[in-house]
Amino acid sequence: MSELAWHRYGKAAIRLVKIERGGGADRVVDLTIDVQLEGDFDAVYAGDNRHCIATDTMKNTVYALAREGPIESAEAFAGRVAAHFAREPVVSTVKVRTVEQPWGPIHPHAFVLGAERWTTSVTQNAAVAAVTSGVTNLVAMKTADSAFSGFPRDRYTTLPETEDRLFVTAITAEWVHRAGTADFGARDRIRTALLQRFAEHKSHSVQHTLAAMGAAALGAAPTVDAITLTLPNRHHLLVDLAPFGLDNPNEIFVATDAPYGLIEATIRR
Amino acid sequence: MSELAWHRYGKAAIRLVKIERGGGADRVVDLTIDVQLEGDFDAVYAGDNRHCIATDTMKNTVYALAREGPIESAEAFAGRVAAHFAREPVVSTVKVRTVEQPWGPIHPHAFVLGAERWTTSVTQNAAVAAVTSGVTNLVAMKTADSAFSGFPRDRYTTLPETEDRLFVTAITAEWVHRAGTADFGARDRIRTALLQRFAEHKSHSVQHTLAAMGAAALGAAPTVDAITLTLPNRHHLLVDLAPFGLDNPNEIFVATDAPYGLIEATIRR
Amino acid sequence: MSELAWHRYGKAAIRLVKIERGGGADRVVDLTIDVQLEGDFDAVYAGDNRHCIATDTMKNTVYALAREGPIESAEAFAGRVAAHFAREPVVSTVKVRTVEQPWGPIHPHAFVLGAERWTTSVTQNAAVAAVTSGVTNLVAMKTADSAFSGFPRDRYTTLPETEDRLFVTAITAEWVHRAGTADFGARDRIRTALLQRFAEHKSHSVQHTLAAMGAAALGAAPTVDAITLTLPNRHHLLVDLAPFGLDNPNEIFVATDAPYGLIEATIRR
Amino acid sequence: MSELAWHRYGKAAIRLVKIERGGGADRVVDLTIDVQLEGDFDAVYAGDNRHCIATDTMKNTVYALAREGPIESAEAFAGRVAAHFAREPVVSTVKVRTVEQPWGPIHPHAFVLGAERWTTSVTQNAAVAAVTSGVTNLVAMKTADSAFSGFPRDRYTTLPETEDRLFVTAITAEWVHRAGTADFGARDRIRTALLQRFAEHKSHSVQHTLAAMGAAALGAAPTVDAITLTLPNRHHLLVDLAPFGLDNPNEIFVATDAPYGLIEATIRR
């Protein structure tokens, strides 16, 4: 005998592009959207589809809601989608996540895409919605003021101490909006604070800089109560040029993909 | 003022290949390993590295432990790595995850790699370890006995009912070993049970087949107490050939990547 | 002043899945198809679309042709598509390339997908068609009989000589069918010959084994006149365990992605 | 009997990062480099390595040459690497290709990485070197002035004519420097010319805009004699909202990955 212990379903990777026209210049909203439902769907797992909202309907709903009103922000739109499905009787929780491709204008009707992505999630339970915002794939390098020394040494430790290494990371940050607040414009301020602290910090470790970046981000957004930072350490190793009769005064590096350090923490107010 | 609310760090994507030689034929163990530590590392975030085990040391340790004894299974090896780090005074929890590339022998000393991957995770707290095993990227197609009908219709529903669609998915399964058991050979039996039930099931929905597959898997592994299945629905859409004066008797499909349905559930005994 | 020196256009990544039903068991044909046209399309570049066959029409044509007759092989189908477009007055050359995902049957109506892909290209000029077939992503490892020594040493050489290394590669092979022949079943025999020679060869270098594999493939397919092999050398480096007081008798390796050796050659009869 | 008809080998994906220090601000040079050799290497394929320059030596050489002098440009450095290997007696042709990750400064010692990549190739035969430069993954969207109509219609044509579609592409451009010239700073001017023409063009087709972009690029770089543009047409399809009682005045689109149009041409002076 077996039973359902947990379940969730939905549509992932709904690719919505909306051109907000009017005024002199267009605005592009480019979102990849996941909709996930939890609730009393047990009968579906026994073959009864009477309450199984088709994931195709979820997709259609996203496109229709995008047309039925303006998209002021990904957060607001994700909230609108979540609220729609939360009204279904069998649904207990809706989670809507979006990844935004931000297009930079180069002309009133032309745009270029960067590497960075912006994220949002809305989790809606009955009347309450929890909203997060974030950035991801913000790849940054620091060529000075990055040390790593004083760490413990055991029989498996070979890493030399360094006062001056390259620090390369792909910043992923996700922050929680205090209930009832909607400071979705905070992304720009948080992004600036993260990068500025990253650039200026006298780093003793990735962890040390992560904590400073998190504190700076909270300082830039008064209604954000917590921020989670995920910082892979994309190691750039000093190449040993001694076999060729050359020194390497912190100048020539090999960039490596694997393995990588991975540092994650949540900083709260 | 801000404070650390949660933190974790480690080394990801450690690429270990061990050739177990001896006897007539070699055995390849090919693992990609993540090691993550939680514990009293708060001082590190303030710039004090005295307790910051270098992630480079984690990598070295993995290679040394791989040499110091045989690797009977990914689960056993992950457990050995986890136990090593759990002995560090500041560590409270170690999580070790592995992804195995299974190489199929074609000769005593030659092997071919397939698409499927095998996963393991060990979470070690003090003396207790929780062990899971899994498979991922097991891509399967069912060309008969897959219906989807009887679902609710609202103003956003356009999907026609069907009694005969293609069902294409990339199976990810992860199961929990009952504490104190170590039936790591269950992977083959679970894999066979999942595929056989997938093939034979009269499917009313992905959910319906997921539940049947989960029950079959539990039947094949008496000391596994729960299995989580993640089944993306890789939609294959019937092409409308009517504009060309042709019918399409469930024969010509366009395979799509996005969007996709995503069905997840845990089945327990 | 500027002028058109060369141009080509078409539709890429047309995803066609055809289920050949009838008899007891289904057969899956899963192709990703590119269609490229060359010809007198200069006016299109000046803004005149009167001869610009829409790439959307190319896609529709592929689906319609797939329905209008059986697909005996990817080569035959690619030839049918190429011949269709070669009849257009402004077209001088059609190139059709396909990548096949071979699904392995596990049941009359269920299938599992492997890692390997099968390729085909047909280049049609007026009445003549050149046909190639191939395999790609056939990832293989050899754990014995692989040496690399006797190579020249200069001031930049640090690689030690070895009589026993791991040899890991992802085989890509493409072979040319003699005009007028159609031995498309040769893929299985060529694939077997490539792997068997790879497994048994006393390798002095990737090049050495490549030549032996190419000769074996030609031996297995009398109407194939040439085969091009592309063999990346996916380096697996012996880990230095001496700092930990351990030896490493060719047993513990780190698999690396970059950089990699890349060896390419065409062997002809 | 079989023989070698063609062969080439080398090292791919050499990951070099050089920090040019000094002055107030650092400069980052981040290159992924391929070195490929052709020449009299036939004996290697028979198992004789006396002339087989190890690909590991190629990698070492790249790092040493990077240290031995400044890297003024990727083109100049690729030329230096090519010239080094062209001096080897058995080598007839050296091809060096680089992909540059351009890091944008945000601080004298901190940088952020964008999506765009810069490419270079140098092909060296005896004393003559052919040099190309390029950009890739420059993803651009045009929300006005993009039509596609007047194309031929046959029984397989269903695409409606449109005077106003989204035009989304990932620009790849590669241009040839006239022998003896070295205007490697042209990349900025060419990039600007390509984007400006893309933005302002009254497009009748991708081909039409490609030709205009190519002409603009040549206008911006007097010593560039030819430019090849590769423009995938990343289709953004208008969503049919009529089933939901909604219109769609060119506003709501689904972004698709496959299939895609692919337009390639070389424009010369």
Q: What is the pLDDT of residue B203?
A: 98
Q: Which of B64, B154, B156 sits opposite A156 (nearest CB)?
A: B64
Q: Which residue of A has its CA nearest to B14?
A: A259
Q: What is the pLDDT of residue B20?
A: 94
Q: Which of A8, A51, A56 sits opposite B152 (nearest CB)?
A: A51
Distance CA C78, CA C64 (A): 13
Confidence of residue D128 (pLDDT cuts 50, 70, 90): confident
- Quote the minimal CA–CA distance from D71 to chain A in Å: 11
Which partners does chain D have (≥3 C-beta pairs < 8 Å)? A, B, C
* Partner A contacted by D107 (CB < 8 A): yes
Residues facing residue A227 across a β-bridge: A175, A267
Inter-chain CB proximity D106 and A256 less than 8 Å: no
Confidence of residue B128 (pLDDT cuts 50, 70, 90): confident
Residue C7 annotated among the catalytic residues of the structure:
no
Inter-chain CB proximity B144 and C251 less than 8 Å: no
Three-class secondary structure of residue A104 per DSSP = strand
Q: Which two tokens stand for residue B162?
A: 């069907």
Inter-chain CB proximity C208 and D1 less than 8 Å: no
Using a CB-CB distance cutoff of 8 angstroms, which residues of chain D are in contact with residue A255? Answer: 15-17, 30
Which residues have CB under 8 Å from A209's CB, separation 6+?
A146, A167, A197, A198, A201, A203, A231
Which partners does chain B have (≥3 C-beta pairs < 8 Å)? A, C, D
Q: How high does pLDDT run on average in chain D?
A: 97
Please count the CA atoms within 13 angstroms of the CA of D29 that sit on its side-chain side. Answer: 22
Q: Which two tokens stand for residue D195?
A: 């984007």
Three-class secondary structure of residue D188 per DSSP = helix
Average pLDDT over residues C155-178: 97
Q: For C77-105, what is each residue's pLDDT tens digit?
A: 999 999 999 999 999 999 999 999 999 99
Residue C11 annotated among the catalytic residues of the structure:
yes
* Partner A contacted by D57 (CB < 8 A): no
Residue B58, number of CB atoms within 10 A of its CB: 27
Quick one: CA torsion of B86, B90, B92, B97, rounded to 10 degrees? -50
Q: Read off the pTM.
A: 0.97
Residue A55 annotated among the catalytic residues of the structure:
yes
Q: What is the pLDDT of residue B127?
A: 72
Q: For C219-236, what is each residue's pLDDT tens digit?
A: 999 999 999 999 999 999
Q: Which residue of C has its CA nearest to B21?
A: C251
Confidence of residue A263 (pLDDT cuts 50, 70, 90): very high
* Partner C contacted by D244 (CB < 8 A): no
Give me the DSSP letters along A199-220.
HH--BSSHHHHHHHHHHHHHHH
Question: Quick check: B23 pLDDT over 90?
Answer: no
Q: For D103-126, what is each residue's pLDDT tens digit?
A: 999 999 999 999 999 999 999 997
Q: For B133-152, what is each residue's pLDDT tens digit?
A: 999 999 999 999 999 999 99
* Partner B contacted by C27 (CB < 8 A): no
Note the ipTM here: 0.95
